[in-house]
């Protein structure tokens, strides 16, 4: 299947559209892509993606949460529909494939499904979910709104690094947060959710296998920690009298790394990705530090054991250093097991296109999780070169994406049969 040649009809093709989407970027000077949800550049990406969806034979609409929905009508409208999709928003200074492969590749997979098999029995919806990346601290906002896991009240409490709430960001691009209830789907009308995504890790590449069939998806427990010590003169304050909030934060950051690394599950990961301090002058001892801890595992018990131990360590570090601390939970989602029937459809699809696959876990979280456990979910991965993602050098070969598109197409065909 060729999706890399320019068709004589001038139709947008998959890989040139991936490249065109990468141009819709707030900060190209940084080298990567920054296209956060509910921004002008995101809206342009929605328009381009909708155009590509329509050229792949889908009808399109945007729901009240800003989710872009492409639809391929099934022969039997009485049957529950199948859903696929991912996201086209990015985190900061990131890559061009994260999420995009599942949306544009999903549209190409539906075009191929009709070409190879004809119209599906069940309706298939392809969704570019709004706000998968955590601009507002929490990820998967659009898919959680669609799944009824988030509602209007949450949108005032979701606040980005500039103090902008999700509700006001929605208004800034012409959405009405008071109408997000209209975006809620009836989960009993959804037969299955299958998401195509780049692996964002290095297993497939190191094993030289083109496809991953995901069996479980890790979830994050994220909390904001505010440490308050005493801002004071960096020169005149004796070391024994200091309450240096950043020195305390430094100990805590290393505890995150140590506890995650020593977790009995062997899969727990942890990092501190954002950190701010006040007042921020070279000659003032940091009086206040705000950081966000991100701890993940596909094993909920192991993850929560690490978080509990970490909080105990934070308490003792703060006691010893006479620091005040405040905790605010940002997200604490449940890891997901992928449904056996979806794993089977993905495995059969790989066999049908005669491509080897690995059964594996996802360390990243994804939109399909928002529909679990009510709806059976699953994922197909394509390799990430050097296991790199959330980075300008994120890369997946066009041919590797094409294999993922074929596998998704065949798996969706089986799920709609
Ligand atoms: O952070 C994540 O796992 C996802 O890539 N947003
Ligand atoms: Mn991501
Ligand atoms: Mn993603």
Looking at the CA of 91, name the nearest ligand.
Answer: 2
Cβ(240)–Cβ(301) below 8 Å: no
Cα–ligand 2 centroid distance for 369 (angstroms): 14
pLDDT tens track for 83-92: 999 999 999 9
Distance, CA of 31 to CA of 338 (rounded, Å): 35
**For a pLDDT cut of 90, what percent of the chain falls above it?**
97
User: Which of the listed residues 132, 137, 394 should we mutate to test ligand 1's pocket, taking the one with most ligand atoms within 8 A of CB?
Assistant: 132
- CATH entry, 219-332, from 3.30.750.80, 3.30.70.360, 3.40.50.300, 3.30.1280.10: 3.30.70.360
Structure tokens at 217: 């998806």
Q: Quick one: pLDDT band at residue 9, thresholds 50, 70, 90?
A: low
Which atom of ligand 1 is found nearest the CA of 134? 6
Cβ(120)–Cβ(412) below 8 Å: yes
User: Which of the listed residues 296, 364, 370, 388 should we mutate to test ligand 1's pocket, taking the one with most ligand atoms within 8 A of CB?
Assistant: 364
Side-chain half-sphere of 186: how many Cα atoms within 13 Å?
4
Residue with the smallest CA separation from ligand 1 atom 3 is 364
CA distances from 280 to 229, 247, 262, 277, 414 (A): 14, 14, 33, 6, 57
CA angle 402, 366, 44 (to 5 degrees): 70
Among 133, 114, 116, CA closest to 124: 114
Structure tokens at 29: 């000077």
Which atom of ligand 1 is found nearest the CA of 98? 5
- Local structure of 61: helix, strand or coil: strand
Structure tokens at 2: 């060729």
pLDDT tens track for 284-322: 999 999 999 999 999 999 999 999 999 999 999 999 999
Among 156, 225, 241, 148, CA closest to 186: 148
Cα–ligand 3 centroid distance for 172 (angstroms): 24
pLDDT tens track for 215-241: 999 999 999 999 999 999 999 999 999
Distance, CA of 143 to CA of 86 (rounded, Å): 9
Cα–ligand 2 centroid distance for 92 (angstroms): 10
Which atom of ligand 1 is found nearest the CA of 220? 3
Cα–ligand 1 centroid distance for 371 (angstroms): 16
Distance, CA of 84 to CA of 69 (rounded, Å): 10
Residue with the smallest CA separation from ligand 1 atom 5 is 364
Residues contacting 366, CB < 8 A, separation 6+ = 86, 132, 140, 195, 197, 217, 379
Cα–ligand 3 centroid distance for 369 (angstroms): 12
Question: Is residue 5 pLDDT above 60, yes or no?
Answer: no
Q: Quick one: pLDDT band at residue 1, thresholds 50, 70, 90?
A: very low
Cα–ligand 3 centroid distance for 200 (angstroms): 8
Cα–ligand 1 centroid distance for 162 (angstroms): 20
Residue limits of CATH 3.40.630.10 in the chain: 14-218+335-416
CATH 3.10.180.10 corresponds to the domain 14-218+335-416 = no
Cis-peptide, bond into residue 364, ω within 30° of zero: no
Question: Is residue 2 pLDDT above 90, yes or no?
Answer: no
Which atom of ligand 1 is found nearest the CA of 91? 6
Distance, CA of 57 to CA of 70 (rounded, Å): 9
Distance, CA of 288 to CA of 290 (rounded, Å): 7
- Local structure of 114: helix, strand or coil: helix
Which atom of ligand 1 is found nearest the CA of 363? 3
Classify the phi-psi angles of 142: left when phi > 0, otherwise alpha if psi is within -120 to 50, otherwise beta: alpha
Structure tokens at 225: 């920690």
pLDDT tens track for 159-196: 999 999 999 999 999 999 999 999 999 999 999 999 99
Classify the phi-psi angles of 44: left when phi > 0, otherwise alpha if psi is within -120 to 50, otherwise beta: alpha
User: Which of the listed residues 134, 361, 391 should we mutate to test ligand 1's pocket, taking the one with most ligand atoms within 8 A of CB?
Assistant: 134
- pLDDT recorded at residue 263: 97
**Average of pLDDT values for 404-409?**
98
List, chain by chain if needed, residues with CB within 6 Å of any ligand 1 atom.
132-133, 139, 364-365
Looking at the CA of 99, name the nearest ligand.
Answer: 3
Distance, CA of 276 to CA of 79 (rounded, Å): 51
Which atom of ligand 1 is found nearest the CA of 132? 6
Looking at the CA of 273, name the nearest ligand.
Answer: 1
Cα–ligand 3 centroid distance for 115 (angstroms): 28
- pLDDT recorded at residue 3: 37
Looking at the CA of 140, name the nearest ligand.
Answer: 1
Task: Report the mean per-residue pLDDT for the chain.
Answer: 96
pLDDT tens track for 113-143: 999 999 999 999 999 999 999 999 999 999 9
CB-count burial class (<10 Å; 0-12, 13-18, 19+) for 160: middle
Cα–ligand 1 centroid distance for 48 (angstroms): 23
- pLDDT recorded at residue 12: 82
């Amino acid at each position: 299947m060729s999706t890399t040649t320019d068709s004589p009809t001038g139709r947008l093709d998959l890989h040139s559209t991936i490249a065109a989407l990468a141009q819709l970027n707030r900060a190209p000077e940084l080298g990567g892509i920054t296209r956060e949800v509910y921004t002008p550049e995101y809206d342009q990406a929605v328009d381009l993606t909708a155009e590509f969806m329509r050229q792949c034979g889908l009808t399109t609409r945007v729901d009240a949460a800003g989710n872009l929905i492409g639809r391929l009508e099934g022969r039997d409208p009485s049957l529950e529909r199948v859903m696929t999709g991912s996201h086209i928003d990015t985190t900061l200074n990131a890559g061009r494939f994260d999420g995009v492969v599942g949306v544009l590749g999903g549209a190409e997979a539906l075009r191929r499904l009709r070409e190879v098999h004809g119209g599906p029995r069940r309706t298939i919806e392809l969704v570019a979910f709004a706000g998968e990346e955590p601009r507002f601290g929490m990820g998967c906002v659009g898919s959680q709104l669609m799944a009824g896991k988030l509602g209007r009240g949450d949108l005032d409490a979701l606040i980005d690094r500039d103090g902008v709430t999700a509700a006001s960001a929605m208004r800034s691009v012409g959405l009405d947060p008071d109408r997000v209830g209209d975006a809620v789907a009836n989960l009993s009308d959804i037969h299955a959710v299958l998401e195509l995504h780049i692996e964002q890790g290095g297993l497939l590449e190191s094993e030289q296998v083109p496809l991953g069939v995901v069996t479980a998806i890790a979830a994050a427990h994220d909390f904001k920690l505010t440490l308050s010590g005493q801002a004071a003169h960096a020169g005149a304050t004796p070391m024994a009298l200091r309450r240096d909030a950043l020195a305390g934060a430094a100990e805590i950051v290393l505890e995150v790394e140590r506890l995650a690394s020593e977790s009995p599950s062997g899969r727990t990961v942890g990092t501190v990705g954002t950190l701010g301090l006040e007042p921020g002058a070279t000659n003032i001892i940091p009086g206040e530090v705000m950081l966000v801890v991100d701890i993940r595992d596909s094993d909920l018990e192991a993850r929560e054991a690490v978080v509990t131990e970490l909080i105990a360590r934070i308490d003792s570090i703060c006691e010893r250093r006479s620091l005040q601390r405040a905790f605010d939970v940002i997200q604490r989602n449940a890891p997901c097991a992928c449904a056996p029937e979806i794993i089977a459809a993905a495995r059969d699809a790989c066999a049908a296109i005669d491509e080897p696959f690995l059964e594996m876990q996802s360390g990243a979280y994804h939109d399909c999780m928002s529909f679990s456990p009510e709806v059976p979910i699953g994922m197909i991965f394509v390799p990430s070169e050097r296991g790199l993602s959330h980075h300008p050098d994120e890369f997946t070969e066009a041919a590797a994406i094409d294999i993922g598109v074929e596998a998704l197409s065949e798996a969706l065909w089986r799920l709609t049969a």
